[in-house]
Amino acid sequence: MSPPKRDSAAATEILPDYLSRTYTWAYLNQRTLPWLDRSVVVSAILWGNAGRLMRAAVAEFAPGQKVLQAACVYGRFSMMLAERVGAHGELEVVDVAPLQIANVRRKLAGHTQAAARLADLCTPLGRDHDGVCCFFLLHEVPEHQRRQIVDNLLAAVKPGGKAVFVDYHRCARWHPLGPIMTLVFRTLEPYAQSLLDTPIESMSARSADFDWSHRTLFGGLYQHVVAARRTR
């Protein structure tokens, strides 16, 4: 594996406003972290779908690949990705919160193919990844920053590689959880509504270099989107 990249100076000093304003309780608090970073909690938040959503995302990548995970995820997701790329691959996890980076470094201890780096995904990333995985980040980011992140993540994929986005989506009208999710988005996830009806490929001009495939799961509540970069 290539030498670990340094944490970016900007990220070590400044957390995005939207993150500290909205999600301190979830990602920036030393006391809540051990309670939230449990597979059972992640599974409950995703209505029992966490396992299959994670497995489907991880299966998009192959042993030996160099994969970027965009932002930390509670539970075993980073370990699953590290195990998938294997000893001959590389996993790089990038997050803007020092607490999250410290936590994922602890969880990934012993996985020598994996490294975690402090940086803001709104700033450009490396451009030589076989794969990029963005798991439930976009709904937690305001529209402007979301577009920057999607653009940076697509730029990070080399020709022949792919970006995988798993996130919320507008569920079917008949969905019994629809009213509950509307309430959850209104109270806890203020940026989520703007993602639900906006195709991810509409967020970056680079989309034209990719072949896009989409599927929805669990009555449309979740989307699994793959952007495969054409080789020329």
Choices 55-63, 89-97, 160-168, 219-227; region in contact with ligand SAM by CB under 6 A? 89-97
Choices 108-116, 137-145, 158-166, 209-217; region in contact with ligand SAM by CB under 6 A? 137-145
Minimum CB distance to ligand SAM smaller for 65 or for 145: 145
Binding to ligand SAM in span 146-185, by CB under 6 A: none
User: In angstroms, what is the minimal distance from the CB of 109 to ligand SAM?
Assistant: 18
Site string for ligand SAM, 14-33 (x = CB under 6 A): --x--x-------x------
Count of residues that interact with ligand SAM, criterion CB under 6 A: 20
Minimum CB distance to ligand SAM smaller for 57 or for 141: 141
Phi, psi of 67 (to 5 degrees): -120, 140
For ligand SAM, which residue of 53, 81, 85, 97 counts as binding (CB under 6 A)?
97
Choices 71-79, 164-172, 185-193, 198-206; region in contact with ligand SAM by CB under 6 A? 71-79
Instruction: List, as one string, the DSSP characters of 187-216.
Output: HH-TTTHHHHTS-GGGG-GGGGGEEEEEEE
Mention every residue, 6+ apart, whose C-beta is less than 8 A from residue 179: none
- Contact between residue 75 and residue 54 where contact means Cβ atoms under 8 Å apart: yes
140 binds ligand SAM (CB under 6 A): yes
| Element housing 214 (H / E) | strand 210-217
Instruction: Give CA 77 to chain center in angstroms.
Output: 10
- Contact between residue 192 and residue 141 where contact means Cβ atoms under 8 Å apart: no
Q: Secondary structure of the chain: what % helix, strand, coil (to 5)? A: 40, 20, 35
Neighbouring CB atoms inside 10 A of 136's CB total: 22
Residue ranges that bind ligand SAM, judged by CB under 6 A: 16, 19, 27, 42, 71-74, 95-97, 100, 120-122, 136-137, 140-141, 145
